[in-house]
A and B are shown apart, each in its own frame.
Chain A
Amino acid sequence: AQKVTQAQTEISVVEKEDVTLDCVYETRDTTYYLFWYKQPPSGELVFLIRRNSFDEQNEISGRYSWNFQKSTSSFNFTITASQVVDSAVYFCALSESWYSSASKIIFGSGTRLSIRP
């Protein structure tokens, strides 16, 4: 069965601190996709990144970076020099392979990140 675990329910840091959101996943598929989404108070899920299971290269996008480690089934997300606008709920998610008939996304329970000024 597929599962995504975000053990950190809530994190609160002071602005400009670095913060890492943890994500651990379970799947029997050899081909799968991992995602991070941001959900601000407005409710809309904002896509941040997609990574396929064959690409373990870490990625950096501005203040955001992602560390994918297949050996530990983890896909962690780091925000460098956090800002108040980063405050939101962040979801890690997993999707079945391309060959599946339905690309349902399995979400973790989310981490609520609060950045204090």
Chain B
Amino acid sequence: ETGVTQSPTHLIKTRGQQVTLRCSSQSGHNTVSWYQQALGQGPQFIFQYYREEENGRGNFPPRFSGLQFPNYSSELNVNALELDDSALYLCASSPLRGGDTEAFFGQGTRLTVV
């Protein structure tokens, strides 16, 4: 068990709506990253939070935003949902922000936009 938990597990939203996904990082981990995994593809990096600040961002539009809280848990917010936003959203926590550490992933939130 990795200790990274995500909620909800599944979610169905309508195009144009807004959604918030939540992630509790593993104890002692101050870095949280979010990934989007479309069906049949590998995960793609959305952004990373380190000590409550955004610490890097992938090629995603501004309607994808996030927060990290003092307890290092995190939220991913997506505004103006589009059909292509349907995917598995994975949260990963790590004890360090650099590359020299493994990231521990949660079970993901499967978002369906209709």
B30 → A minimal CB distance (Å): 12
A32 to B40, CA, bound (A): 26
**B44 neighbours in A (Cβ, 8 Å):** 107
Given A33-B100, A45-B43, A95-B99: A101 touches B105 (CB 8 Å cut-off): no
Which range contains the number of A residues in contact with the other chain? 20 to 34
- Cross-chain contact B107 with A44 (CB below 8 angstroms): yes
| Residue of B58, B98, B107 with most partner-chain A CB within 10 A | B98
A117 within 8 A of B: no
Residues 40-63 of chain B, each 1 if its beta carbon lies under 8 Å from chain A, else 0: 111111001000000111100000
- Cross-chain contact A103 with B97 (CB below 8 angstroms): yes
- Cross-chain contact B42 with A110 (CB below 8 angstroms): yes
A106 to B38, CA, bound (A): 14
5 contacts between A and B (CB under 8 A): A33-B99, A100-B99, A103-B31, A105-B45, A109-B42
